[in-house]
């Protein structure tokens, strides 16, 4: 058989037309020219545009957080709030696909999360940034980094820390996860504390690593430190005393305020129940109530000294004016007003010492509603105290034109108006300062405080003597402090439940100051709904007042102004023998 060669194929022997060869050559040449033109366009004319587009895809502005200012107590030695460095764990979902199940399990264990929760955050591949967990402790974040999980990155953050915990929670407040003030002084002075964050414009690669800076770094300006008027020693003493009383009387709540008579500074302010501001889960519900500042209540008998002083100041009565309170029951304007006991014929000092509602009604008959309203307003009732703190309550004081005679009488002994504990404490500074009521502050005061005359000096001193008797052996004797002369008034008010005054729910209070010879502190205490039998202010709130005043005067180094009884003589014989 004849062998046929490869080149003897009839297909290969066909002649291609010259024009087709030239057409192919021209097309190839045009293609190369187009590629060269495109390369020139990209590399030359569009270089800057394309670089900008690329940088936009990988360029990031990093926020350089400013360190929030610290909060100190008045001594400057106790830190109430500070910022500590922490880290945020974030991820790029598309890059995180390379993470193994074992790596995710270890990561979840370190972060205290479940693997499905992490997976849900990574579900959207279109996102280029998702938080996995914020405010992670630095040591935990270092362990996370050592896992080298693909697509997971970290950035620096700060977290607010409150070393004193629940003791000063209602004063200091707290911040949110963005380090913004939410409650208390953290909110009131947020602008000063937060400072100004800086910025850094950088280019990152797909792994989140910073390749270069594209703009000059703007450094952050740290926030200013804040020194409060609170003394943590006094705060702790009040906190301990209120805790003890609340547990003893199984009360729903308690609050206390201590003021510096000379400067108007709030030295201690405690509310119970309280919360730990470091625990985000605890920062909710009833524990957040700032009972001393934002809650109002009908004060009861602790208002009586203000009405008595007004009657003396306006010459409606004198210290020698006598009132026949009868057998303890008095019909007035169709209602029966009662005293706890029969007091007979008494003067204004006895009215305060025995806390006679009938006597206060008789005093109110000699005054006009407008006179009482003007004095209450001057004392700060019905308007919020001028203190830099969020949520200051104004209380309730109806216009005097709408008062009926019976309402004027009930307001004279503390019903029909509402006040905050801080308002009561401030008003009592008028008796401690010879008629001059001082302005208040929660920040350590630098200059001389503003004040306003409320009563004449003579009347203020007369009422001070009466209040010393009201807290003496024949009055609320449980308020007495060994070695110091104290003055004050107890109050017991029925609470309104379903529009009516309850016969079983009370608020027990005591407000006063010490030492009488040269007053240094004003203390106001209130116990909400004490149970277990005792509910009178002189039985429930007065002992707390005594404990707080005793500890406070000792801490402040105030010299005793009364004889100190022998401790040995006061101990029962059987205890001495033991």
Between CA 330 and CA 341, with CA 335 as vertex, the angle to 5 degrees is 35
Report, in this order, helix, strand and coil percent for the chain, each rounded to 5: 40, 25, 40
Answer yes or no: 46 catalytic.
no
Q: Could you tell me the two tokens for 16?
A: 């291609």
Q: How many angstroms separate the Cα of 143 from the Cα of each of 229, 295, 338?
A: 42, 47, 72
DSSP 3-state of 572: coil
Residues 6+ apart with CB under 8 A from 322: 345, 346, 347
Residues 6+ apart with CB under 8 A from 447: none
Distance CA 468, CA 488 (A): 6
List the beta bridge partners of residue 84. 159
* DSSP states along 467-521: HHHHTSTTS-GGG-BTTB--EEEEEEEEEEETTEEEEEEEEEEEEEEE-TTS--E
Nearest to 451 by CA among 440, 463, 462: 440
Please say whether the beta carbons of 507 and 480 come within 8 A: no
Nearest to 309 by CA among 300, 295, 319, 324: 319
Residue 30: CA atoms inside 13 Å, Cβ hemisphere, count? 6
Between CA 67 and CA 76, with CA 73 as vertex, the angle to 5 degrees is 75
* DSSP states along 208-224: --EEEE-S--B--BPPP
Distance CA 373, CA 367 (A): 11
Between CA 233 and CA 241, with CA 238 as vertex, the angle to 5 degrees is 125
Q: Is the dihedral of CA 307, 313, 316, 317 positive or negative?
A: positive
Set 83, 301, 356, 509: catalytic member: 301
Q: 55 burial class (0-12, 13-18, 19+ CB within 10 angstroms)?
A: middle
| Long-range contact set of residues 556-560: C-beta below 8 Å, sequence gap at least 24 | 556/520, 556/521, 558/484, 558/515, 558/520, 560/483, 560/484, 560/515
Phi, psi for 527 (deg, rounded to 5): -120, 125
Active site residues: 301
């Amino acid at each position: 058989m004849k062998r046929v060669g490869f080149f003897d194929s009839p297909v290969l022997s066909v002649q291609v037309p010259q024009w087709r060869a030239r057409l192919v050559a021209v097309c190839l040449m045009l293609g190369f020219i187009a590629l060269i033109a495109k390369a020139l366009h990209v590399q030359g004319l569009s270089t800057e545009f394309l670089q900008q587009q690329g940088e936009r895809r990988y360029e990031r502005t990093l926020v350089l957080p400013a360190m929030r200012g610290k909060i100190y107590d008045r001594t400057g030695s106790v830190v109430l709030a500070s910022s500590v460095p922490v880290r945020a764990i974030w991820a790029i979902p598309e890059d995180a696909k390379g993470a193994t199940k074992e790596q995710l399990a270890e990561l979840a264990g370190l972060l205290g999360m479940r693997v499905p929760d992490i997976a849900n955050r990574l579900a959207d591949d279109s996102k280029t940034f998702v938080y996995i967990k914020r405010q992670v402790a630095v040591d935990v974040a270092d362990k996370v980094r050592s896992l080298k999980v693909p697509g997971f990155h970290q950035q620096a953050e700060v977290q607010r820390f409150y070393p004193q915990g629940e003791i000063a929670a209602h004063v200091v407040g707290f911040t949110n996860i963005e380090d913004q003030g939410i409650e208390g002084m953290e909110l009131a002075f947020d602008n000063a504390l937060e400072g100004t964050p800086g910025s850094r414009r950088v280019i990152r690669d797909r792994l989140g690593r910073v390749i270069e800076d594209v703009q000059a770094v703007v450094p952050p300006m740290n926030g200013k430190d804040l020194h409060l008027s609170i003394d943590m020693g006094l705060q702790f003493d009040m906190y301990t005393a209120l805790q003890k009383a609340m547990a003893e009387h199984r009360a729903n709540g308690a609050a206390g305020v201590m003021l510096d008579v000379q400067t108007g500074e709030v030295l201690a302010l405690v509310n119970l129940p309280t919360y730990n501001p470091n625990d985000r889960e605890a920062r909710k519900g009833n524990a957040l109530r700032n009972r001393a500042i934002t809650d109002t209540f009908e004060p009861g008998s602790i208002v009586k000294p203000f009405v008595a002083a007004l009657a003396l100041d306006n010459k409606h009565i004198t210290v020698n004016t006598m009132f026949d309170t009868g057998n303890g029951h008095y019909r007035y304007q169709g209602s029966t007003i009662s005293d706890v006991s029969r007091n007979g014929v008494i003067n204004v000092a006895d009215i305060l010492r025995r806390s006679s509602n009938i006597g206060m009604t008789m005093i109110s008959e000699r005054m006009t509603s407008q006179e009482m309203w003007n004095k209450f307003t001057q004392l700060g009732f019905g308007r919020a105290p001028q203190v830099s703190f969020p949520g200051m309550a104004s209380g309730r004081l109806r216009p005097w034109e709408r008062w009926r005679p019976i309402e004027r009488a009930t307001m004279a002994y503390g019903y029909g108006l509402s006040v905050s504990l801080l308002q009561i404490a401030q008003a009592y500074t008028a008796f401690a300062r010879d008629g001059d009521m001082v302005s208040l502050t929660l920040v350590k005061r630098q200059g001389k405080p503003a004040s306003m005359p409320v009563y004449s000096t003579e009347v203020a001193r007369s009422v001070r003597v009466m209040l010393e008797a009201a807290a003496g052996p024949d009055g609320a004797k449980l308020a007495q402090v060994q070695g110091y002369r104290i003055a004050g008034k107890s109050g017991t008010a029925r609470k309104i439940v379903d529009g009516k005054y309850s016969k079983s729910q009370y608020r027990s209070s005591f407000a006063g100051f010490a030492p009488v010879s040269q007053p240094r502190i004003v203390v106001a205490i209130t116990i909400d709904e004490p149970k277990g039998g005792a509910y009178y202010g002189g039985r429930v709130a007065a002992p707390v007042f005594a404990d707080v005043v005793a500890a406070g005067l000792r801490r402040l180094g105030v010299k005793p102004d009364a004889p100190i009884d022998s401790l040995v003589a006061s101990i029962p014989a059987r205890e001495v023998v033991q």
